[in-house]
Amino acid sequence: MAEYQMTLVDRQRIARDTVAFWLDANGASSDFRAGQHADFVFTDASVQSESDNSRIFSLASSPHDKRPVMIAMRMRKTAFKNALKAAALGTKFTVSRPRGSFTLHRDVTKPAVFLTGGIGITPIRSILQWATQERLPHKLYLFYSNREAEDAAFIEEFESMTAQNPNFTLIPTVTGHKTLAWPYEKGHINRQMLTRYLLGLNGPIYYIAGPSGMVTAMTDLLTSSGVSDDDMRTEEFGDYKLYRHL
């Protein structure tokens, strides 16, 4: 099957200006690998946006989840997102077959270090949920940056995951100044923060997802620290499109 016909069945605010949407595949098997993405196109002409009618979104749910497929996004004022925000439950979408290589490596001796900010968390949530459900032995480190605590989607889920998965370490950080009661890190992800939690910067496989500026900053940081390009996988979220670099 080259495409799926999916139906919008639920939506929920999950952080400031961030909404999750659930789409049902109407009985079809929507197989995908954790961390992949797909093209989403409005099928219903009545709710099509005035300009670009499609977007690429990472799948935020695990392949094992029994709920419909989840996507999540910052609700910026674009024609597509305005149309999606106004779409009634039951709205139809055409969704491409999921694709992409932003997926967990197989070598369990190499830790997986996730460096992400903002809505770049979506493919990483998929990977972490799946790895926890599979009880994989990979060491998993999530460095998750947001401006303020209220911007951090899925944070309660990740806190619960630390109890479910002894191999998972959660390191959220905020870069703004309004969050006062915060038990985690503050400031941008930097070399000092990484070395507080990692035995060394060389050795892990790094997964970097977020705004283009953050992706560039993190890859530059790792490169200057001697990390090989072969040990970095990135997905860049910019201008509401998704770019992949492997």
Distance, in Å, from the CA atom of 38 to the CA atom of 66, rounded to the nearest integer, reads 19
Query: Hey, which residues does 237 pair with through a beta bridge?
Result: 211, 242
Instruction: Report which of 225, 217, 201 is spatially closest to residue 145, judged by C-alpha positions.
Output: 217
DSSP secondary structure letter of residue 106: S
Q: How confident is the model at residue 43 (pLDDT cuts 50, 70, 90)?
A: confident
Which pLDDT belongs to residue 241? 43
CA atoms within 13 A on the CB side of 213: 5
Between CA 28 and CA 51 the distance in angstroms is 29
Which token pair is 59?
């799948």
Q: Which domains does the chain have, with CATH numbers?
A: 3-96 (2.40.30.10), 112-245 (3.40.50.80)
Q: Of residues 67 and 75, which shows the higher confidence score?
A: 75
pLDDT at 53: 75
Could you tell me the two tokens for 49?
């946006």
CA distance 37 to 119: 13
Tell me the average pLDDT of the chain: 90
Tens-digit pLDDT profile for residues 83-107: 888 889 999 999 999 999 999 999 9
Position 3 scores a pLDDT of 85
DSSP-assigned letters across all residues of 155-189? HHHHHHHHHH-TTEEEEEEE-SSS--S-SSEES--
pTM for this one? 0.91
